[in-house]
Amino acid sequence: MALTLQIVGYKKSGKTTVLKDFLAVAQAKKYTVAVLKHDAHEASLDQAATDTGQFHQLGAQQIILQSRSEIFIRQQKPALVTQSAESLVQQYVAPDTDLILIEGYKSAAYPKIVLNKTAIDFEPSALQQVIAQASIFPEIVAANPKLKDFSNPQARQAWFQAWLKKSVTKGD
């Protein structure tokens, strides 16, 4: 099983910013990485003016596009069918993946970093496997010294490198 780390927090807490810094470290180490992102806002990767966007607008529930270097799968599910992070990882992540970074999915049972947008966003005991609480906002860290300071890329990347080293040694 690939090393897996979740990044959770409220909207605009810095999840994507932190994930991008972690990706930079993983790429420098030549890791094969999968990213799973939860979106509660009906986002779409497809553009309306493309052929696949038009297929979707005309009612196709599943569209599979293969180019020379990628496969894009768009699958429409009824609103009541919500898959867990665990089932999505099992279903879609390639077996040769070294690292899985998950943005969101607070209830999933993977090691996670909680990002705070205010000094007391989350009660860590309300979530499973919280390994760190941090903030990208210096004023929030100043107000809650228990938070790790993720206000600059170097701090985020240093934390992640230490986590990788510890996790690889431990065999997580």
CA distance 101 to 5: 5
Comparing 78 with 68, the larger pLDDT belongs to 68
Q: Give residue limits of the domains in the chain.
A: 3-40+83-170
The pLDDT value given to residue 42: 60
The pLDDT value given to residue 171: 57
Q: At CA 150, angle to CA 148 and CA 154, rounded to 5?
A: 120
> pLDDT digit string (tens) for 30-45?
999 999 988 766 656 6
Comparing 26 with 118, the larger pLDDT belongs to 26
Q: Quote the pTM value.
A: 0.84
Lowest mean pLDDT among 40-49, 59-68, 105-114, 116-125: 40-49
The pLDDT value given to residue 68: 83
Query: Between 3.40.50.300, 3.10.20.30, 3.40.309.10, 3.90.226.10, what CATH number should domain 3-40+83-170 receive?
Result: 3.40.50.300
According to DSSP, residue 3 is labeled E
CA distance 36 to 162: 22
DSSP string, 74-111: EE---TT----HHHHHHHHS-TT-SEEEEE--TTS-S-
CA distance 97 to 2: 6
> pLDDT digit string (tens) for 120-144?
777 767 888 999 999 999 999 999 9
- Cβ neighbours of 168 (radius 10 Å): 12
